[in-house]
A and B are shown apart, each in its own frame.
Chain A
Amino acid sequence: MIDTFRAGVLVKPYERLSLEQVKRLDEASLHILADPGVWCYNERATQLFKGHGAKVWEEQTTGHRCWRISFPAGLIKEARAMAPSALVLGARKSENRLMLDAEVPRVYFGSGSESNVWIETEVEEFVSLKDNHTKVRVPRYQELRGTTELLGRAASLCDKLEHLDFFIRPLNIQDPGITTTNHDVNKFFASLNNITKHVQAGLTDLGALKNVVRMAEIIAGGQQELRENPLISFIACVFKSPLQIVDDTAEKVFAIVEAGLPLVISSSPQGGSSAPIQEAGMVAQINAEILVGITLTQLIKAGAPVLYGSVPVRARLDDLHDLYGCPEFNQYNIDCVQLARYYKIPCYSTAGVGDAKVPGMQALFEKLFTHLYMAMTGAQYIHYAFGLLDRTNSFCPLQAVLDNEQIGKIKHCLGEPKVRADDVEDALQMVKKVMASGHRLFTRHTRKAMHRGEISSPYQFEAKGMEDKVIENALNYLTQLEAQATPHLDQPTVETIFDEIPGLLPNLKKFKGD
């Protein structure tokens, strides 16, 4: 499809389920879709499903028109087989494009999702009450409401984070001038004008789609150019779990598919409240919801580029909030990756959210626990991986820098084994040569691997002495990254966008070189 794309990491997938168990969950999902079926609040989708053989009847609900839909298994199976197994997500720079192939376990990591709070960090010095010569430096955190300015800062930072492969807007913009109508154009422009990697977001207002697509066409160089290099894509959470198709999101699915741009069909039930907490029940339900969403896209337009978007979470049992850093989260998510692979549809998966509210040991534990496991599954597109804290309620750029280091190490760790025939031959020659030398040291041969970039470096933020200075060192690195130039679009492109697209905030008008 394309020959230049980001390397990601090609892994040997870890699988939790046997093929028999995968088939059992698939059958369970199809059973759910037949009985009890789904509740659909969108008439157009209902008619489309009905026209392709689904059994439909009107439900009696309060205040809304709603239909129950029972899907024959054949309809779901035929539709999911029409979904492409491989697709390209474009980018402003061709080397930043992503190649997603359901049959190739190449893993990409990106940001997400739409938190309301930006966490700013500074380090402050404190003096001991016992001994005023003893001082410690401690991070202090400040919460800021999300703005277009901060979203632009996030995009610019993410452009510079080596191991971040794609950008999902991590911050909800809440500037005084932002309305429902202009939310989408500002969100996409604040992202696209600050990053050369793939940009993905949900759509707030269906009416804004035309302008968002036009903006992307201007940047890509035309209508056809955008479809060949789709530098934007969308996320649609078409289901409100359990098993209810949302009216306005279904309309967005129609519009996005008709616009010919890639779409994630995402579902995020919570085990314990809006889905069973037990593995089999949770996975059968989320899979059923995603399959209906994918079926909808393929009935609108066969072959529409779509990702299998699984975000199954578990409820905390003390307050029913989401709980991310727990074993069940991994179990649910790994199962979903296997199902997506079984269907040959690229998987949008989830890892790296902390329940922790600030960077630190809890965040590190929770993030490593999911980053590593989910990378091992071979999910093609792992979102939520950078900077998210407090169960997706906040984005912390310092945490994004820490996550970048962690993900880099994981990519290195899971890289392809270098045990080809010529690697072994080289090793045998090396051993003979070193054992014939006086000092019997392999350091000269270490250089080769070192200079080729095959050897990982020590943890980037380590301290030299008996102190833990990770936060302070990462903050210094963040400052260095933020001091580097932002990859703004050139002036003519920005001027054209401001001329053609209404509703953009004036503070976003920045050009290459600013």
Chain B
Amino acid sequence: MSSQELIEKIAFNVIQGRLEAGDEGFDPGLEGQPAVTELMQEALEQGVDPKDIVLGALTRSMEIVGEKFERNEYLIPDMLASAECVGLAMEMLAPHLIKAGIKSKGKFIIATVAGDLHDIGKNIVAIMLKGAAYEVIDLGTDVSVERILEAVREHQAPYVGLSALLTTTMRVMGDVVQRLEDEGLRQQVKVLIGGAPTSAEFAQQIGADAYCKDAFQALDKLKTLET
């Protein structure tokens, strides 16, 4: 298979949301055919330029997926399946991108705050961010303020995403923002918050940079926050 054919096939399978050969796609009859994992492996072995993969196979295909979602042709599971494919491809490409001097869109620390074990929303946001070429550092659930600060320092991340589902834990988000201020880290990091009990008003009240009602809004907000 030529480089161009491989890039086109990767793009097609991202749109189909097929991670591995055993996966079905959006269209019927694709099970058993090579998917993103197998095709990426082959592309890397053949020495296809990582930049061409990112631009030709991943970026454009996710735009197409977004357009299909806008037209209600795709639902969230389809969108996430495609994002998951891009996330995996980016992980496989990471060492090659570093060698080629290509940077991700930035490091994004994400966590569900202390006292809260809910992670569905956080995980969906993480998948979508990976799919949009951010380097996601997922700290998991029930994460202390100190642990979040430590991660910001360690990774020098420009973005932090905080999630909470409970009215009793949402206040911890304010503690994070306050501690970032206290430690002199606030200027270097944008704080995005989300979760059922939160709101734009709450984000403003605690001094966060953005409230995101869902993963799609998180991506939109990031575009406006990018420096």
A residues whose Cβ falls under 8 Å from a Cβ of B: 438-441, 443-444, 446-448, 450-451
Contacts and interface: CB of A to CB of B under 8 A. Distances in A.
Given A447-B17, A451-B24, A451-B26, A441 B120 contact: yes
Most chain A beta-carbon contacts within 10 A, residue among B23, B77, B81: B77
B126 A443 contact: no
Interface string B114-134: 000001100110110000000
Given A439-B127, A444-B84, 6 more contacts: A440-B119, A443-B80, A444-B19, A444-B23, A444-B80, A451-B26
A443 B77 contact: yes
Contact of A448 (B24, B75, B76, B126): B24
B81 A447 contact: yes
A419 to B, nearest CB: 22
Chain B contact patch, size range:
20 to 34
A450 B74 CA distance: 11
Interface of B: 17, 19, 23-24, 26, 28, 75-78, 80-81, 84, 119-120, 123-124, 126-127, 138
A444 B80 CA distance: 7
B77 A450 contact: yes
Contacts of B26: 447, 451
B80 A441 contact: yes
Contact of A440 (B17, B77, B78, B123): B123
A447 B126 contact: no
Nearest to B127: A439
Contacts of B28: 451
B24 A441 contact: no
Contacts of A439: 84, 123, 126-127
A438 B138 contact: yes
A439 B138 CA distance: 10
A460 to B, nearest CB: 13
What's the dominant secondary structure at chain A's contact region? helix
Contacts of A438: 138
Nearest to B28: A451
A450 B24 CA distance: 12
Contacts of A441: 80, 120, 123-124, 127
Contacts, number: 37
Contacts of B78: 447
Nearest to B17: A447
B110 to A, nearest CB: 11
Nearest to B23: A444
A447 B124 contact: no
A448 B24 CA distance: 8
26 contacts: A438-B138, A439-B123, A439-B126, A439-B127, A440-B119, A440-B123, A441-B123, A441-B124, A441-B127, A443-B76, A443-B77, A443-B81, A443-B124, A444-B17, A444-B23, A444-B77, A444-B80, A444-B84, A447-B17, A447-B24, A447-B77, A447-B78, A447-B81, A450-B75, A451-B26, A451-B28
Nearest to A440: B123
B140 to A, nearest CB: 10
Nearest to A448: B24
Q: Which 4 A/B pairs are nearest by Cβ-Cβ distance?
A: A439-B123, A443-B77, A446-B77, A447-B77
A438 B17 CA distance: 17
Contacts of B17: 444, 447
Contacts of A448: 24
Most chain A beta-carbon contacts within 10 A, residue among B23, B80, B124: B80
Most chain B beta-carbon contacts within 10 A, residue among A444, A446, A448: A444
B81 A444 contact: yes
A441 B128 CA distance: 13
Contacts of A446: 77
A285 to B, nearest CB: 53
Nearest to B24: A448
A466 to B, nearest CB: 16
Contacts of B84: 439, 444
A162 to B, nearest CB: 18
A80 B151 CA distance: 81
A454 to B, nearest CB: 13
Most chain B beta-carbon contacts within 10 A, residue among A438, A447, A448: A447
A441 B80 CA distance: 10
A439 B119 CA distance: 9
A439 B127 CA distance: 8
A446 B84 CA distance: 14
B116 to A, nearest CB: 16
Contacts of B123: 439-441
B37 to A, nearest CB: 13
A438 B24 CA distance: 20
A476 B138 CA distance: 45
Nearest to A446: B77
Nearest to B19: A444
A439 B124 CA distance: 8
A446 B79 CA distance: 12
Nearest to A439: B123
A439 B17 CA distance: 16
Contacts of A451: 24, 26, 28
Contacts of A447: 17, 24, 26, 77-78, 81
Contacts of A444: 17, 19, 23, 77, 80-81, 84
Most chain B beta-carbon contacts within 10 A, residue among A439, A441, A451: A439
A35 to B, nearest CB: 65
Contacts of B81: 443-444, 447
A450 B73 CA distance: 12
Contacts of B127: 439, 441
A447 B80 CA distance: 10
Nearest to B75: A450
Nearest to B79: A443
A446 B24 CA distance: 12
Nearest to B124: A441
Contacts of B76: 443
B54 to A, nearest CB: 21
A441 to B, nearest CB: 5
